[in-house]
Structure 1
Amino acid sequence: MQVIPLTPTPSQSLTVLLGGQNVGLVLRQRSTGLYADITLNGKLIYAGVICQDRTLLVNRPYLGMKGDLVFVDQQGKTDSDPTYDGLGSRYVLYWIEPGEAIP
């Protein structure tokens, strides 16, 4: 398990090395929630996925990503989905390896 560092801004992009894979993330806050675009080794594998508390973002092994990404509300409220203003503090993004449980 690895924490992915985020900042509390409405739009951000980053690339991180996760399990030997280059994973690119673009996060955007919209009126209907926080959304992510995800690239794997430079190839877009997911566009516009909604970010929800304790819900795997990719969850599609056929896309080739080893492991998955998941937001976890550090206040323990499972009905509270991530918003940009809590990124990196209240809402932490984790990469979990295959077989690991959601924190």
Structure 2
Amino acid sequence: MQEIPLNAVPNQRLRVSLGDDEWELTIKVARSVMLCDIKRNDDMLIQGVRVMPNQPLIPYRYLAGNGNFAFITDNDELPWWEQFGKAHYLVWWGDDD
């Protein structure tokens, strides 16, 4: 498992190379929840998925490929940008984790 650093800002896009793939995540605020879009190798996998604590961001195994992302939070709190890097963390795990 590997932590992906996030900025404590409400809307952000990041690119990261993991597990032989290039990933692009767009994380944004939608009222009182966070949403996420995920691309792998420039192919859109999911758009506007509601971010839940301690659950895979890519909901289907066949889309996840060789890894997946999740937000780990204290006390199963909904992930929120003001807590990024403090109590809410984005992690990636590959098939070998």
| TM-score, normalisation: structure 2 | 0.92
CA distance in 2: counterparts of 1:59 and 1:2, whole angstroms: 19
Q: CA deviation at 1:63?
A: 1.8
In the alignment, residue 2 of structure 2 is paired with which amino acid?
A: Q
In the alignment, residue 75 of structure 2 is paired with which amino acid?
A: K
1:31 and 2:26 equivalent? Answer: no
Is the 2:58–2:64 contact (alpha carbons within 8 Å) kept by the matching residues of 1? no
1:77 and 2:75 equivalent? Answer: yes
* Aligned residue among 90, 93, 97 for 1:96: 93
In the alignment, residue 29 of structure 1 is paired with which amino acid?
A: V
Q: CA deviation at 1:47?
A: 0.2
| TM-score, normalisation: structure 1 | 0.87
In the alignment, residue 25 of structure 2 is paired with which amino acid?
A: L
Aligned-residue identity in percent? 27
Gapped runs of 5+ residues in structure 1? none
Gapped runs of 5+ residues in structure 2? none
SS of residue matched to 2:75: coil
CA distance in 2: counterparts of 1:41 and 1:68, whole angstroms: 14
Task: Give the helix-richer structure, 1 or 2.
Answer: 2
SS of residue matched to 1:56: coil
Partner of 1:4 in structure 2? 4
Is the 1:59–1:68 contact (alpha carbons within 8 Å) kept by the matching residues of 2? no
Alignment RMSD (CA, Å): 1.4
1:66 and 2:63 equivalent? Answer: no
Change (3 A) 1:81 1:64: closer
